[in-house]
Chain A
Amino acid sequence: MSKTKKKVVYAFLLCVFLVGGGGVYAVAAPPIKIGYVSSFTGLMGEDSTRNLHCWKMVMEEANKTGGLAGRRVELIVRDDKGVPADQARMARDLVYTEKVDLLAGSHSTPTSIAVGQVAKELKTLVIGYGMGSSPVIQRNRYFFRAVPHFTVQTRTMASFAHKKGWKKVALLNPDYSYGHMFSEDTGRWFTKEPGAEVKADLHPKFGCLDYAPYITKLMGIKDLDAILAGLWSGDVTTFLKQAVAYGLFDKIHLVIVLMMPTIEALGKEMPEGIYGVAHFYPWIPGEKVKKFVKAYYDYTGSDPGMEYNGYCSALAYAAAVRKAGTADTEAVINALEGITFDTPTGPMSIRPLDHQGTMRAVLGRTVYKPEYPKHAILEDFYMPDPAKFLPTKEEILKMKPF
């Protein structure tokens, strides 16, 4: 090829490159990136996966109508195997390399704390998830959570016990920070009623495989009305299996934090007539609830439970970005504080006081219905207004951060 021809070709290519590249850059606004770091390994793996589904659902829905603030939303997923160091490292990595606008996911207490620290240092917004992260939030401008402090659950349980007229209860919670805080709050709220007594405060170690000592101890307490339990995840399944074998619930009532994985795993082994509490069950009444449950079922093939927290987190973020009109961190934070947005269970807000949501707790009784052949469901729901159960400013200030 002659020299001039070469020059022409190069110039042409250069123009194409500039125009094309520039055009691409100009036409499509960069997507909003959400970094989802959680542990997909081990015990928390299933919860993480299900929460991720909810985020995907919300963001795909948003993308269908042009995205948030005019930009498409992208999810980048990382597995931190539950190691806080890795969670922090991946979070930093996502912020520096991928320039994410939001960090979502995170789960157990240590990983929540790890990512909270990153949020503070790098001034990145985090919408966390998981019970244990509450105390982190009060000291951290960048950390939000759609789920309220566990006081909503503990106080719902306690007020339900009041309603039933139970006077003597026992507390059963795992032996670590969350379990101790849970039992302390449940006990305190329950004993507000005159004549109400906590007869035992038991703390089996987290991951305990043999509840026999606790079961026999509970059975030995005279005139025990009920057990209020804040056991977690797989422990609930193990406890229920063993307790049923001993006949613990023949004479004693049980109110326990009960999640979908346990309900599905136990199947027909679940005893009828015990009370389960959570923030969401797919059988609570409401048209919007039914729609959401169906959408989730179509998307994943199972019923939603605790991942509703993730769903509301995603809705909160979407609403905040829409309100702020931008994904810029400071603007979104300002929008999030005090925002009220719509969810399948009604309007929900994020409190500026502690950056947490105002989701109510839901308590129901287990029963078997022919429409659900595989496992028990809950009915007769007690869903008190959470307003008086949310922690006050004084209570928050008294809580120690981790």
Chain B
Amino acid sequence: MSRRVADEVFGEWGGWILGVLIAVVLPLLLRAPARVNLLTEVMILGLFATAYNLVLGYGGLVSFGHAAFFGLGAYITAIFLVKFSLPLWAVFIVAPIVGGLVGAIFGFFAARAAHLFVGFLTLAFAQMIWAVFYSFPLIGGVDGIWSVPIGEAFYSPITFYYFTVGIAAVCFLLLHFIVRSPFGLVLQSIRDNRMRSEFVGLNYKRYRIAVFAISAFFSSIAGVLYCMLNRGAYPELLYWATTGNALLTTLLGGMYSFFGPLLGAGIMVVLGDFFIRKTMYWPLVMGIMVILLVLLLPGGIAEWVGKIWTYWTTASYKRLRRSNDVA
């Protein structure tokens, strides 16, 4: 049992170690320490998008309500730290659990819904939550809650970056484990052919609830980190555009691969920052890019990269064989 677990988690251990090394070393390669926050944002958005992809890519459901989990994570952080002066570790325990519970509720209602309606329902529920936080000044209102005291230690961008990498790495490991586990495989089978999985005796409704809960759990963690990054939580984090952003990130990077969303996050944040600094009309540029992406590159960058990788390795293999034959 333990050996299997080890296989599943560390199966590509080479890749993981490399990834962690890159994450650790990256900030030192930057020209300016301020840019570290950019990398932190990449990690947070990458975590959020990967959690989102659990539902989208592996679950096969289009959710429009994930902003609720992300935003709730942020708001719980803000409320706990500002209004109740609770310690940070309490936030990291409560926020994901609350997020997971809310996710389960979303999942429960989405479970029976037909394809498109999963999106509509999750949108409606998430907007309900948004409306509450937007309308009541007691929990922030239009402005949100600011000046969140996250502790002197985290004011340094580098410290906070490594903290985020640590938390994100653990989350990625867990998510990867889940995806490779029997649960993840069942999930994909339900995604591929729901009727058949029912014939085999699987209760797809339970799986949908579970996948929403798990995805929400990790989305909330991303929300907590984001609140810490900005020292504040505000209603826009709960608005459906935030889910749209996660969706776009996932599709950009590729929803059929585990690390696709993280790749997408890297591209989104870095490109976004680049364009904002270069032109005042950056939404125009982003919009055009999105449109081009849809028209030309439906599988996302990951699929494109995957295709090139396959081609290159296959070609090399063929060359190798040919040279062996000749010799």
Binding site for B on A (CB under 8 A): 40-41, 78-81, 83-86, 88-89, 92-93, 95-97, 109-110, 113-114, 117, 121, 132, 175-177, 180, 205-206, 401-402
A117 to B146 alpha-carbon distance, docked (Å): 10
Tell me which of A40, A97, A121, A402 contacts B143 (CB under 8 A): A402
Contact indicator B277/A110 (Cβ below 8 Å): no
A85 and B230 contact, Cβ closer than 8 Å, known pairs A78-B277, A92-B157? yes
* A97 and B276 form a contact (CB under 8 A): no
| Whole-angstrom distance between the Cβ of A208 and the nearest chain B Cβ | 12
Instruction: List A contacts of B31 (CB < 8 A).
Output: 97
- Are B144 and A110 within 8 A (Cβ)? yes
Whole-angstrom CA separation of A401 from B277 in the bound complex: 31
- Given A176-B143, A402-B146, A402-B147: A96 touches B137 (CB 8 Å cut-off): no
The distance in angstroms between the C-alpha atoms of A97 and B147, with both chains bound, is: 25
**Complex interface: chain A residues within 8 A of B252 (CB):** none
Nearest Cβ on chain A to B196's Cβ, whole angstroms: 45
A176-B137 in contact (CB<8A): yes
- Is B141 part of the contact surface with A, judged by Cβ < 8 Å? yes
**CB nearest neighbor in B for A85:** B230
Chain A binding site: helix, strand, loop or mixed by DSSP?
helix
B32 within 8 Å of A (CB atoms)? yes
CA A24 to CA B190, docked complex, whole Å: 70
In addition to A89-B273, A93-B35, A96-B34, 13 A-B residue pairs with Cβ atoms within 8 Å of each other are: A41-B280, A78-B276, A79-B276, A79-B282, A81-B282, A85-B226, A89-B38, A110-B144, A113-B146, A113-B232, A114-B232, A176-B141, A177-B141
| Cβ distance B304 to chain A, nearest Cβ, rounded Å | 29
Produce 1/0 per residue, B134-177, CB < 8 A to A. Answer: 01010001111011000000010100000000000000000000
* Nearest A-chain residue to B37, judged by Cβ: A89
Contact (A95, B34) CB under 8 Å given A110-B143, A121-B155? yes
Give bound CA distance, A205 to B235, whole Å. 14
Contacts of B229 in A (CB 8 A): 85
- Please pick, from B143, B155, B280, B283, the residue contacting A109 in the complex, using a CB distance under 8 A: B143
- Bound CA span A85–B37, Å: 10
Tell me, in angstroms, the Cα distance from A65 to B32 when the chains sit together: 34
Q: How far is the CA of A47 from the CA of B242 in the complex (A)?
A: 27
B234 closest partner in A (C-beta): A110
Question: 25 A-B contacts, Cβ less than 8 Å apart?
Answer: A40-B280, A41-B283, A78-B277, A80-B276, A81-B276, A85-B41, A85-B230, A92-B37, A95-B34, A96-B33, A97-B35, A110-B232, A113-B147, A114-B146, A121-B155, A132-B143, A175-B142, A176-B137, A176-B143, A177-B141, A177-B142, A177-B143, A205-B135, A205-B142, A402-B147
Contacts A97-B31, A114-B230; is A86 near B143 (CB within 8 Å)? no
B143 cross-chain contacts in A, Cβ below 8 A: 109-110, 132, 176-177, 402
Would A93 and B32 count as touching, CB distance under 8 A? yes
Given A78-B277, A85-B230, A96-B33: A175 and B144 within 8 A (CB)? no
Interface: B231 (CB within 8 A): yes
Closest Cβ–Cβ distance, residue B155 to chain A (whole Å): 5
Q: Establish whether residues B147 and A401, one from each chain, have CB atoms under 8 Å apart when the complex forms.
A: yes
**Could you tell me which B residues sit within 8 Å of A by CB distance?**
31-35, 37-38, 41, 135, 137, 141-144, 146-147, 155, 157, 226, 229-232, 234, 236, 273, 276-277, 280, 282-283
Contact of A96 among B32, B155, B231, B280 (CB under 8 A): B32
Q: Once bound together, how far apart are the Cα atoms of A92 and B156, in whole Å?
A: 11
Residue of B with least CB distance to A108: B143
Contact A86 B276 (CB under 8 A): yes
Task: Give A182 to B144 CA distance when docked, in angstroms.
Answer: 18
Q: Closest residue of chain B to A121, judged by CB? A: B155
Contact of A84 among B37, B157, B232 (CB under 8 A): B232
A-B pair count, CB < 8 Å, reads: 79
Chain A residues near B41 (CB-CB < 8 A): 85, 89
With a cutoff of 8 Å between Cβ atoms, the chain B residues found around residue A114 in the complex are: 146, 230-232
CA distance A27 to B32 in the complex (A): 27
Expressed in whole angstroms, the Cα–Cα distance for A28 and B183 within the complex equals 67
Q: How many angstroms between the C-alpha atoms of A180 and B143 in the bound complex?
A: 12
Say yes or no: A175 contacts B276, CB within 8 Å.
no
A117 x B32 contact (CB < 8 A): no
A368 to chain B, nearest CB (A): 36
- The residue from B142, B226, B231, B276 contacting A176, defined by CB atoms under 8 A apart: B142
B residues within 8 A CB of A401? Answer: 147
Q: Which of B37, B137, B277 contacts A180 (CB 8 A)?
A: B137
Contact B142 A92 (CB under 8 A): no
Instruction: Tell me the complex Cα distance, A97–B37, Å.
Output: 13
CA distance A113 to B148 in the complex (A): 11
Residues of B within 8 A of A175 (CB): 135, 137, 141-142
Q: How far is the CB of B319 from chain A (nearest CB, A)?
A: 45
Which chain A residue lies CB-closest to B82? Answer: A402
With both chains docked as a complex, state the minimum distance between the C-beta of A81 and any C-beta of chain B, in angstroms.
Answer: 7
Complex Cα gap A121–B282 (Å): 29
Q: Which residue of A lies closest to B31 (CB)?
A: A97
Task: A109 to B234: give the CA distance in the assembly, Å.
Answer: 11
Q: Give the distance to chain B from A300, nearest Cβ to Cβ, in Å.
A: 17
Is B142 in contact with A206, judged by CB distance below 8 angstroms? yes
In the complex, what residue of chain A is closest to B148 when comparing beta carbons? A117
CB distance from B47 to the nearest CB of A (A): 16
Residue of A nearest to B157 (CB): A92
Q: Is the CB of A93 within 8 A of B231?
A: no
A180 to B142 Cα, complex, angstroms: 12
Chain A residue at smallest Cβ distance from B279? A79
In whole angstroms, how far apart are the Cα atoms of A256 and B141 in the complex? 24
B273: chain A residues at CB < 8 Å are 89
Contacts of A110 in B (CB 8 A): 143-144, 146, 232, 234
Q: How far is the CA of A43 from the CA of B8 in the complex (A)?
A: 51
CB <8 Å contact, B34 and A89: yes
Residue among B142, B157, B226, B229 facing the most chain A CB atoms (10 A cut-off): B142
Once bound together, how far apart are the Cα atoms of A392 and B37, in whole Å? 39
Chain B proximity of A395: nearest CB distance (Å):
20
Taken together as a complex, chains A and B put the C-alpha atoms of A285 and B142 apart, in Å, by 38
- In the complex, the answer to whether A88 meets B32 with C-beta atoms within 8 Å is no
Chain A residues within an 8 Å CB radius of B35:
93, 97
The 4 closest A-B pairs by CB, nearest first: A96-B34, A176-B142, A92-B34, A97-B32
Which residues does chain B contribute within 8 Å of A121, judged by CB atoms? 155
**For the complex, what is the distance from the CA of A178 to the CA of B144, rounded to whole Å?**
12
**B53 CB to nearest chain A CB (Å):** 23
- With A78-B277, A89-B38, A402-B143 as known contacts, state yes or no: A84 contacts B33, CB within 8 Å: no
